[in-house]
Chain A
């Protein structure tokens, strides 16, 4: 005879069996539900504050990326948050996104904010894909959940400085001296360290005779440019953001400060639409050495016309490109993981291998530190208001111009 209590009319064994069967039944549709539900991707970008213009350019990579990725068979739901160009706000917003259910984070454009968000991702065990941020420390902290698509400052610097030598060799003009003007935020300072380390290592043919650091929020760079002019150097090397790049070139024109050329070993600002729009003919001939769109890529051929149609007044630039690629990395990991479980997503991110890229370089893959080492730097020179690849030859669409025409002769 089976003993049953009045309170629980089912026997203990019957109850356990029923519970097990129920759990198994419940698990089946749940697993299907997981696969069917889109990945909740928390997107952190500086859409206001002094980095707003670049943040919004990155945002276009997300907004335009979603339908394209859907066509490619990926399913993502985006949760947008504005870091307001502030690391503190970035941290708070990351925590808020995770509280609200974000299963993966993506962002944040600037290194300081990226560091803040990476710490949150690490504490909460949520994977974080970095679209743009180059401070090497981001992937040197031993973080398990942070994966960076963008190159580090030393990688940018090495590629950028190497291409300078190619530029000088190809044009037959080599500067003997240079001024180095750079922003003094974490990105600018890491680029400074990279450039200083690479100068002797790469046996650069010029000497840096003046180094001028400035606040990226600066509203006036007249004194900084006057100081650069006083150095009477052949070349003007820069690491800028956008607003300060405009201020700097405007001052160079006003102060009639002529050089062989303005070259960035890898920084935003000079290839952006706003730069060309504000400075007009004076924006031409500035060179930025940076990973760029691969003109041979099928994805690029598909995306560029769509972008131009959707945003006729905006630049198809790498803020868009790297953000698109970061969203692609997130979506691809989710698809392969088959689950939104953070460990499964992290494991899938580690095994990323995306050969069909938008930008120059080899397949996106992360090393043990979470760094993608497959980016290739190319030289982009502004010509007739548009950034054009001029080096290396396999990507070049036109020949570089160096030294550049004087301001008064444009």
Chain B
């Protein structure tokens, strides 16, 4: 096996993993701040895919250019969902939250089925078949663009939490809720902003994912499951952890598929999950309990 093939596999795995990471980022941010596990995560991602698809289909707009629209659309959905529904369930036991968000997920999936039907729908872009030749390596142009944007969005989200007043206030809520309430922070609004931001990341991830995968309503559960695997490996609540988890899953799938059997890709992702749960239950970059 030539080294360029192995390097090519590593690059393909890393690029796919970066998009996975972006998808999981929102899930991690929401859990990190509110301790709410968003079971409607995959559904939101598919929502982002459908927004990008509709804009492409009706106006011929490139999903990459429409990424801010998908993110904004999902921000509004996330904000309203948190403000007017999830917020009433913040204090209830976790299993009640799970059931609530599972119900939301089912509503979303069935709404997609009713509106769009079961067909797979994709976009046909002029550069969909393009690739870059770098020496002996062939790098997929779409995957490269998607990965670069995913990393940029992750960096922007990190900057938002680190540098802006709202971001710092959200972190304050996550670190010490009582303290945040005492100093007069509008916790309900900040929680809704966080949920909105998480959903916006997922929406952006969806618009990017549409470049790689055709959208249909039954993708939802696959992406929810994948999102959970990634954030558990990276560490629930850790933004860099989500990216790392995504890249690790992308790499493990790529190498398992290449060196062992392609049909064993998922098995390796789950194997990695079991190992992390055994030896680092809080995830690779998660904080200790």
Q: Is A80 in the interface zone, CB < 8 Å from B?
A: no
Given contacts A52-B118, A52-B119, A184-B263, contact A226 B16 (CB under 8 A): no
How far apart sit A229 and B5, CA to CA, in the bound complex (Å)?
A: 10
Contacts of B212 in A (CB 8 A): 219-220
Q: Which of B1-57 contact A (CB under 8 A)?
A: 1, 5, 8-9, 12-13, 16
The residues in B between 182 and 237 inclusive whose CB is less than 8 angstroms from any CB of A are 212-214, 216-219, 222
Interface 9-residue window, one of A121-129, A145-153, A207-215, A297-305: A207-215
Q: Is the CB of A243 within 8 A of B214?
A: yes
* Contact (Cβ within 8 A) B140 A254: yes
Which B residues touch A243, using CB under 8 A? Answer: 120, 214
Decide: B262 and A53 in contact? CB cutoff 8 A: no
The residues of A that contact B214 with a CB separation of less than 8 Å are 243, 246
Per-position binary interface string of chain A over residues 45-72, scored 1 when its CB falls under 8 Å from any chain B CB and 0 otherwise: 0011110110010000000000000000
CB proximity of B182 to chain A, nearest CB, Å: 47
List the one stretch of B65-73, B128-136, B273-281 in contact with chain A.
B128-136
Least CB distance from B105 to A in Å reads 17
Whether A224 and B262, one on each chain, are in contact in the complex, defined by CB atoms closer than 8 angstroms, is yes
Which of B79-87, B153-161, B251-259 contacts its partner? B251-259
B122 touches A278 (CB 8 A): yes
The answer for the CA separation of A243 and B140 in the assembled complex, in Å, is 19
Residue of A184, A217, A250, A254 with highest tally of chain B CB at under 10 A: A254
A269 to chain B, nearest CB (A): 13
Residues of B within 8 A of A217 (CB): 222
Give which listed residue, B5, B129, B258, contacts A250 with CB less than 8 A. B129
Contacts A220-B213, A222-B12, A254-B130 given; indicate if A278 touches B124 (C-beta within 8 A).
yes
Main secondary structure of the interface of A (DSSP, over half): helix
Residue of A with least CB distance to B124: A278
Say whether A230 faces chain B, with CB atoms less than 8 Å apart. yes
Query: Considering the complex, which residues of chain A in the window 279-326 have a beta carbon less than 8 Å from any beta carbon of chain B?
Result: 280, 282
Are B218 and A230 in contact (CB-based, < 8 A)?
A: no
Tell whether, in the assembled complex, residue A223 and residue B265 are in contact, meaning their CB atoms are under 8 Å apart: yes
In Å, the complex CA distance between A50 and B217 comes to: 10
B212 nearest CB neighbor, chain A only: A220
Q: Residue A253 at the B interface, CB < 8 A?
A: yes
Taking CB atoms, residues of chain B closer than 8 Å to A255 are 131, 138, 140
A215 CA / B124 CA spacing, docked (Å): 24
B289 near A: Cβ within 8 Å?
no
Instruction: Report the bound CA distance from A246 to B118 in whole Å.
Output: 17
CA distance A278 to B122 in the complex (A): 8
> What is the CA–CA distance of A47 and B217 in the complex, to the nearest angstrom?
13
State in angstroms the CA–CA spacing of A243 and B131 once bound together: 21
The interface on chain B, measured as residues whose beta carbon lies within 8 A of the other chain's beta carbons, has a size of 41
A53 near B120 with CB under 8 A, answer: yes
Q: Are B254 and A223 in contact (CB under 8 A)?
A: yes
Is B261 located at the chain interface by the 8 A CB criterion? yes
Min CB gap A221→B, angstroms = 8
A278 to B138: give the CA distance in the assembly, Å: 22
Q: Which residues of B, 113-150, contact A by the 8 Å Cβ criterion?
A: 113, 117-120, 122, 124, 128-131, 133, 138, 140-143
Contacts of B262 in A (CB 8 A): 212-214, 223-224, 227
Q: How far is the CB of A180 from chain B (nearest CB, A)?
A: 12
On chain A, the residues within 8 Å of B263 by CB distance are 184, 213-215
Q: Is the CB of A226 within 8 A of B218?
A: no
Q: What B residues does A52 contact at CB under 8 A? A: 118-120, 216
Q: Are A223 and B129 in contact (CB under 8 A)?
A: no
Give the distance to chain A from B5, nearest Cβ to Cβ, in Å.
5
Determine the chain B residues whose CB is within 8 A of the CB of A223 once the complex forms.
Answer: 9, 12-13, 253-254, 257-258, 262, 265
B118 & A47 in contact (Cβ 8 Å cutoff): yes
A48 touching B218, Cβ below 8 Å = yes
- A256 on the B face (CB < 8 A): yes
Q: Contacts of B133 on A, CB cut-off 8 Å?
A: 256
Query: Do A282 and B12 touch (CB < 8 A)?
Result: no
What per-residue 1/0 map shows which CB atoms of A25-61 lie under 8 Å from chain B? 0000000000000000000000111101100100000
Q: What is the bound-complex CA distance between A224 and B142, given in angstroms?
A: 18
Minimum CB–CB distance from B59 to chain A (whole Å) comes to 20
Most A CB within 10 A of own CB, among B12, B130, B213, B257: B257
Q: In the complex, A237→B10 CA distance in Å? A: 26
- Please give the residue numbers on chain B whose beta carbons come within 8 Å of chain A beta carbons, in ascending order: 1, 5, 8-9, 12-13, 16, 113, 117-120, 122, 124, 128-131, 133, 138, 140-143, 212-214, 216-219, 222, 253-254, 257-258, 261-263, 265-266
Sample 19 A-B pairs with CB under 8 A, ordered by A number: A48-B113, A48-B117, A50-B216, A213-B263, A215-B263, A219-B212, A219-B219, A222-B12, A223-B12, A223-B253, A223-B262, A224-B262, A226-B258, A227-B258, A230-B5, A250-B128, A254-B142, A256-B131, A280-B124
Lowest 5 A-B CB distances belong to which pairs?
Answer: A48-B118, A223-B257, A52-B118, A224-B262, A253-B129
